[in-house]
Structure 1
Amino acid sequence: MKKCIVIGGGIAGLTSATYLTKYGVKTELIESKNKLGGRAYSFKDRKHNSVIDNGQHILMGCYEETLKFFRLISAQNNLTYQKQLFITFINNNSEFHYLEATKLFHPLNLIMGLLNYSFLNFSEKISLIFFFIKLAFSGTDYLKNLTVDEWLNRENQSENLKQSFWEIVCVGTLNSSTNKASAEIFKVVLKKMFLDSNFSSTIILPKYGLSETYCHPAKEFILKMGSKISLSENVLELKTKKAVITKIVTNKRIINDFDFVISTVPLTALSKFYSGDEIKNVSFDYSCIVSVHIWLKENKLQNKFYGLINSSVHWIFNHDDHITLVISDANYIKATKNDEIFEMCLIELEKYIKIKKEDIIDYKIIKEKDATFIPSNKNLNNRPKTKTKINNLFLAGDWTYTGLPATLEGAVVSGKKAVESILNNLNSER
């Protein structure tokens, strides 16, 4: 039986190991930390007996490969699904505005939802609908080297429309502002989200912490199928001979009983043990995400999540025993002290949902400083492909070339692509 070593236990690594195991390739996953999940995991805050995520993640109906992966590991019931798109937006006067797809057939249900979105005036609604009609029938060549903001300006989208709709969508999906993100990749995202089907536009939330939602089921699947997971083990070196990896040196042992290697770790980690041409001149600018977990004396929020219009806080997620404020594209506060970030959030909380300092029991701030690479045109052109010049080494991770931004879906797609490359190699040997 052929064997593969998967380096990295984030969602790309878990996807790779799961599919390899499914297709009968003996697999060992090696993770340097003592837990799985990479940048998408959860842990227990013992002070408040709450499970919190290191960073809030949402899925969408258009995350086809992620949802297939969840079904494979029997984790599909760990998610909460919408029947149709429904988002509650709040402006700085505490007024609620609803973006809700109707029960009509797709895409008329979304068109009616946009027409009913009360924060936009009628001409802005028509402008938005015409934008989506054009989106459905145009290519992407004219978007090369444009930012999202430049694209929106060409399409005569008003400043209010940009702030109250486009900036929220762009930051929420790409973790980047419209003046930095690539128009080309944003178009790919928009088409998948809004034009594929009614289900594609729906938002899907984990019922539990991320570790319980997908890490534990993936681990159980991998082990049950006879493969292995090794935690707290750091890869130090890949020894090669004639363009083939022959040995993997870790902090615990030397491994030589394998046929293939998939590295799913971030670029910074990969460059410590591999310096191939594929990554030699590759570098990325990264975008921070700040999560502010707040415990309230009384949580009066009704919905599971809210989008804030024209706020430094982009989203509020309601976990019943606490709420989570998400600040995306947060490089500007990467070095800011936590108490200053909390004071900034207090201003937004009082302005948007009338929560004051005396309503709060405690808070915890988590900064994922290099959460995602910024999907600028420069960064997108730097992404390496799955195959390398080393015949038995394959790359995965949301930063590799997938045609998608750095999302859970991008990570899953990358892991599956690496597995498909190995399976193609095996088929060609027969």
Structure 2
Amino acid sequence: MGAKRRPRQYAAASMGGGSRTIVVGGGFAGLAAAVRLVAAGREVLVVEAAKHGGGRSRSFHDKVTGREIDNGQHLMMGCYWETLSFMRAIGVPDDALEVQSNLAMTMLKPGGARVELTCPPLPAPLHLAGGLIGMRGIGMLHRAAALRAGLLLRGEIARPDDNETCDAWLRRLGQTPPIRAAFWEPLIWAVLNDDPLVASAAMLIAVLERAFMGSRAASSLVVPRLPLSSVYVQRAVDYIEARGGEVRFASPARKLELDADGRVAGLTLKSGETVATEQIVTAVPPQVLLELLPEAAREHLVFRDVARLEASPIVNLWVTLDEPLLDRPFVGLIASPLHWLWDRDRIEAGTSGRPTAGDSLLSVTISGARGFVDDQPEALRELFLGEIARFFPRARPQIRGFRVVKEKRATISHAVGTYRRRPETQSPIPGLLLAGDWVRTGLPATIESAVQSGHDAAARVLSGR
């Protein structure tokens, strides 16, 4: 993203290695930071406001479905190197994740016709070129347009522009409406959680570089087979505690304490306890960070930029049907407000196939859901039924249960010009390091960005900088 701006420091940072490091937040970013720190022999305390870990990538028992479900279906890629490294470190078994051997996805047109992308086992980026040329369900003219964009990608990577929208970028590269609808726009909604009309092309290009320009395996999709909290939260907690760290749930942080020189001196919890420390890693959303800061600190330009970050919501529908709707783990819908449908029973069954008996649990993702996040469940139910009738005209599913999960602040918005507002890991306050998917990692706000931010913060602590 070009030259990085150096934030003005209140005083020269001193990260002395003797004191306990406090990590605020028990989601991917916070747990990743804590795991790296205890692995290096550091004393760590993790405090999490909720009764359970996971942050915005959490699971819970739902009375409507009678199942353990995620707050939304989460998707990863083979290029999530930091995330996969974190999961290996804490002992996540290989069969907890369904990993494609080659990138493949199915998009449905209204009426049910399919567009199929299947990348052949060729070295990157030839695998993508082969997949685009061989796409089924879309004309050669449109496939050639996508291939042209792929050929120009190296030049685009060299000069990303955070002030150019994805829409403008696609127009400049001559992408036709059909290939936009079938390939580019589903990708943009999935990785940027924002409308192509406003989302930054630079953030899209960052994903394309990692996913398609390195290795074939980098672009493969990775789907957790189990609810995500059960995949990583308890394993991370066990790892931390086995190495002398401490994890406290239901322990909200209230205030960052500074000494007379403006350095970190401790953290006050909602309980009234103040824990002394010289090092704090915050791994919380932007608005929560700002609430922790002393009022004077919020006036620093870095934190004023943080206050200007906007949120982009996601609405997830969990629908129990009387019979399966899909014949594969997931599909995308072209030109629909419902972006992705996931057959949870088929996903959890893995390669053994979908159980045939009983009801079917479907997860539905509406990304960048500003137009739907305030809708009542009844309206969203009608939307679901209408779209199912459009895309599956022969299906007559009966709804046994309907659950709406809204994440109003699921991610930051990646609107053009946003990246420069995202802060560096090292904050202007000596002893305070920032983590979270929204900090400046070079990536959009994804699970990978969260884990990378945690690892970056841990590296800063360990380096003494």
Matched position secondary structure for 1:331: coil
Q: Does 1:39 align with 2:56?
A: yes
* Alignment check: 8 A CA contact 2:157 2:205 kept: no
Q: Does 1:16 align with 2:33?
A: yes
Given residue 139 of structure 2, which amino acid in structure 1 is its aligned partner?
N
Counterpart of 2:339 in structure 1 is 314
Deviation at 1:158, TM superposition (A): 1.2
Alignment partner of 1:81 out of 99, 102, 124: 99
- 1:27-426 superposed matches below 5 A: 27-77=44-94, 78-141=96-159, 143-241=161-259, 242-274=261-293, 275=295, 276=297, 277=300, 278-282=302-306, 283-320=308-345, 321-354=360-393, 359-425=398-464
Distance 1:41 1:139 in 2: 33
Structure 2 runs not aligned, ≥5 long: 1-17, 346-359
Distance 1:421 1:226 in 2: 21
Deviation at 1:101, TM superposition (A): 0.8
* Alignment check: 8 A CA contact 2:107 2:182 kept: no
* Alignment check: 8 A CA contact 1:286 1:374 kept: yes
* Alignment check: 8 A CA contact 1:67 1:76 kept: no
- The farther-off stretch of 102-111 and 240-249 is 102-111
Deviation at 1:355, TM superposition (A): 7.2
Distance 2:157 2:123 in 1: 25
Change (3 A) 1:111 1:63: same
Paired residues in the alignment total 426
Summarize deviations over 1:41-94 as a string: whole Å, max 9, x none.
111123433121101111100111111111111114221111001111111111
Summarize deviations over 1:25-44 as a string: whole Å, max 9, x none.
11010001101000111111
Given residue 284 of structure 1, which amino acid in structure 2 is its aligned partner?
L
Distance 2:165 2:69 in 1: 34
Change (3 A) 1:146 1:347: same
Distance 1:232 1:40 in 2: 17
Summarize deviations over 1:383-428 as a string: whole Å, max 9, x none.
1111122211111111111111000000011111111111111xx7
RMSD after superposition: 1.6
Distance 1:415 1:317 in 2: 29
Distance 2:265 2:124 in 1: 53
Given residue 108 of structure 2, which amino acid in structure 1 is its aligned partner?
I
Structure 1 runs not aligned, ≥5 long: none
Distance 1:291 1:144 in 2: 29
* Alignment check: 8 A CA contact 2:32 2:455 kept: yes
Deviation at 1:104, TM superposition (A): 3.4
Summarize deviations over 1:264-320 as a string: whole Å, max 9, x none.
111111111115323134321211111110111111522111111111110001112
- The farther-off stretch of 70-79 and 289-298 is 70-79
TM-score for both structures, normalised by structure 2: 0.88
Name which structure has the greater RCO, CA cutoff 8 Å, separation 6+.
Answer: 2
* Alignment check: 8 A CA contact 1:4 1:262 kept: yes
* Alignment check: 8 A CA contact 2:103 2:221 kept: yes
